[in-house]
Amino acid sequence: MTKMMTNAYQWVQKPHDDALVGEIINQYGVSRLAACVLQNRHASVTDSIGLDGEALAGLLHNPFLMKDMQRAVSRIDRAITRQEQITVYGDYDADGVTATALLYLFLRSKGANADYYIPSRADEGYGVNTSALDTIAQGGTKLVITVDTGVSASNEIAYAKTLGMDVIVTDHHECGEVVPDCVAVINPKQPDCGYPFPMLAGVGVVFKLICAVDGDLALSESKQYFPLVCIGTVADVVPLVDENRVFAALGMKYIGESGNAGIGALLGELDAKDKKITAGVVAFGIAPRINAAGRLGKADKSAELFICNDRERAGVIARELSEINTLRQNIQQQIYDEAIAYIEENQLQNNKIIVAASPSWHHGIIGIVASKITEHYHRPTILIGIENGVGKGSGRSTHPFNLFEALQSNAAYLTKFGGHSLAAGLTIDAGLIDEFSDAVNTYAKSVSGDSELVPMLTIDALIEGGLPDVGDVRELSLLEPFGMGNPAPVFACMGVTALQVVTMSDGKHLKIAFSDGKKRSEAIGFNMGQLADRIKTGEIIDIAGTLDVCCYKNSESVRFLIRQVNFTMGGAEREVRRA
């Protein structure tokens, strides 16, 4: 693997096996450009190329390979037959809401006596709580099925049993040393589970459950469910490989055919009803609206949106979610500005892990702010909102630092915690935050090196002799859907000469005309206008970015969209090493 050192990022070029690249070219009839990218992708990406509908769905694994699945199916079948009250206990983020709606809709379609419960983030916090279980039991529930939560709620689930309720846990978060003692725990991350793909989102786990309960869920029936599974999967930023790739691909394919009034209303809000739906539309259009409602204590609105059959009502809710999302954006920016100022003032960016807290930070918003701060400093970040002496925090990490294990190793300071390697939540006594910060940083120093804090940009292939043609770039769509675990391929033009550097849109965007000595090409850097003054005409530069096809006035052309520019180490000064 070739490493190219830039001013801020380490560019890592994936190696290419010419023999394997040749085999891919012959097998799929693609260009060398696409073949180079395909060679380094997850096997499930290559295996699914060219498959559609039934064939793609046929790649899904047998749900009964998952531990406890038969026990869960038997208990659900009994509840449906006896018309026992079933309550789906969900979570308030996009994964949890779609999982809740999915299971509720399925159970109702099977004639079950079912309802659902989603806790208030503001009043109840994350996960299963005893007060909610009291309310559910008083309503006559005999079976509780958790979705996207529950694997760390052993005490609460034991309490549910004292209330006369059976519990089935479906979850995808990391398991602690003890799992709940209940009817069944459906979680592919259980150490003794053995399921072939453990990286499902919560909604994916629920889909496996309904496939098992149904016994023979044909594609014609599951079309209505795939869009919900797709939304939750993409929103939870799990790797879009293996089953997750199938869920995303079929969800986007059938999203216009689902008949779900809520999904249709959201697409209308995004003006995307007649447009190609991509993972980007889901991740940056649909998911934020659902998550915003959960962050600000209105997750029930999102659940109602997906469950209601009234298109007029769905339209009203979709517009309300857009307004909530705008409010979320404003609060998020305020917290981000305050957090950056606090971090800089206290020089927390020099720590292995950034831990910051404030009583003015909305604990429903800090998770997404933590993500942006992690991206800004390339440090695992935990932000904590304090209220009445209690801190509720959200953390985001950088690969390969495992944030869940860091919290697990410092559990003595925490009242409650949960999550996975890259994202986690916690509750802590406000008086212990400083001690916790010291302890978790001591832990980080003991398990990680400085190299883990250097951001990397992976280069799929080098481009030489000018940009590829439209046909070659279109072939890259074979790899879609793009997302976590299967990102849009990044290419690099190394040692090219900057011929012209200009800005567009009043200095907001950057355009660079460059040449490799054979052909003139252009690259666009959206929101990179500030770099224009730092790149001199005639300077040797390296440019990394993605490729797409731009259609303008019935004419198609290839665009090179800039991700990074190395303008200080070009030519002979560039350091190229073999890993």
pLDDT digits (tens), the chain, 579 positions = 554 444 457 888 888 888 999 999 998 889 999 999 998 888 888 888 877 788 888 899 999 999 999 999 999 999 999 999 999 999 999 999 999 999 999 999 999 999 999 998 878 877 899 999 999 999 999 999 999 999 999 999 999 999 999 999 999 998 988 899 999 999 999 989 989 999 999 999 999 999 999 987 777 778 889 999 999 999 998 999 999 999 999 999 999 888 899 999 999 999 887 778 888 899 999 999 999 999 888 888 999 999 998 999 999 999 999 999 999 999 999 999 999 999 999 999 999 999 999 999 998 899 999 999 998 898 999 999 999 999 999 999 987 889 999 999 999 999 989 888 888 999 999 999 999 999 999 999 998 766 566 778 889 999 988 899 999 999 998 888 988 888 999 999 999 999 999 999 999 999 999 998 889 999 999 989 998 988 999 999 999 999 998 887 778 889 999 999 987 544 434 443 323
Residue 561 shares a structural domain with residue 448: no
Residue finishing a domain among 453, 486, 501: 453
Regarding pTM above 0.75, the answer is yes
Distance, C-alpha 209 to centroid of its chain = 21
Residues 476/489, Cβ–Cβ less than 8 Å: yes
Handedness of CA 316, 321, 327, 330 (dihedral sign): negative
CATH of the domain at 121: 3.90.1640.30
Evaluate whether residue 70 is within a structural domain. yes
Quick one: pLDDT at residue 54?
Answer: 82
Residues 329/362, Cβ–Cβ less than 8 Å: no
Residues 404/419, Cβ–Cβ less than 8 Å: yes
Residue 85 shares a structural domain with residue 103: yes
Evaluate whether residue 422 is within a structural domain. yes
Evaluate whether residue 295 is within a structural domain. yes
Residue finishing a domain among 406, 421, 453: 453
Cα–Cα distance measured from residue 380 to residue 422, given in angstroms and rounded to the nearest whole number: 9
Residue 77: Cβ-neighbour burial (10 angstroms; 0-12, 13-18, 19+):
middle
Residues 482/239, Cβ–Cβ less than 8 Å: no
Please tell me whether residue 270 adopts helix, strand or coil conformation. coil
Phi and psi of 306, rounded to 5°?
-80, -20
Evaluate whether residue 294 is within a structural domain. yes
At 436, the amino acid letter reads F
Cα–Cα distance measured from residue 434 to residue 441, given in angstroms and rounded to the nearest whole number: 11
Evaluate whether residue 286 is within a structural domain. yes
Residue 259 shares a structural domain with residue 394: no
Phi and psi of 87, rounded to 5°?
-115, 125
Quick one: pLDDT at residue 453?
Answer: 66
Please tell me whether residue 6 adopts helix, strand or coil conformation. coil
CATH of the domain at 402: 3.10.310.30
322-361: b or e for each residue (b if 16 or more CB lie within 10 Å)? eebbeebeebbeebbeebbebbeeeebeebbbbbbbeeeb
Cα–Cα distance measured from residue 277 to residue 487, given in angstroms and rounded to the nearest whole number: 16
Residue 424 shares a structural domain with residue 444: yes
Residue 241 shares a structural domain with residue 107: yes
At 406, the amino acid letter reads A
Q: Which domain holds residue 476?
A: 2-17+460-578
Quick one: pLDDT at residue 568?
Answer: 55
Residues 421/198, Cβ–Cβ less than 8 Å: no
Residue finishing a domain among 431, 453, 475: 453
Evaluate whether residue 340 is within a structural domain. no
Quick one: pLDDT at residue 452?
Answer: 61
Q: Where are the alpha helices (DSSP H) in 149-260?
A: 154-162, 202-214, 219-222, 226-235, 242-254
Quick one: pLDDT at residue 321?
Answer: 95
Residues 259/271, Cβ–Cβ less than 8 Å: no
Evaluate whether residue 37 is within a structural domain. no
Evaluate whether residue 331 is within a structural domain. no
Residue 425 shares a structural domain with residue 525: no
Cα–Cα distance measured from residue 207 to residue 48, given in angstroms and rounded to the nearest whole number: 20
CATH of the domain at 555: 2.40.50.140
Residue 272 shares a structural domain with residue 398: no
In the 8-state DSSP scheme, what is residue 329? H
Tell me which residue has tokens 């208030």. Answer: 120
Residue 199 shares a structural domain with residue 247: yes
At 499, the amino acid letter reads L
Phi and psi of 399, rounded to 5°?
-70, 135
Quick one: pLDDT at residue 66?
Answer: 97
Tokens of 73: 């199916």
Please tell me the total count of domains within the chain.
Answer: 3
Please tell me whether residue 298 adopts helix, strand or coil conformation. coil
Residue 282 shares a structural domain with residue 149: yes
Residue 255 shares a structural domain with residue 303: yes
Residue 102 shares a structural domain with residue 249: yes
First to last CA, the chain: 5
Cα–Cα distance measured from residue 437 to residue 462, given in angstroms and rounded to the nearest whole number: 42
Residue 389 shares a structural domain with residue 482: no
Tokens of 560: 């090179």
Reduced DSSP (H G I as helix, E B as strand, rest coil) percent helix, strand, coil of the chain, to 5:
45, 20, 35
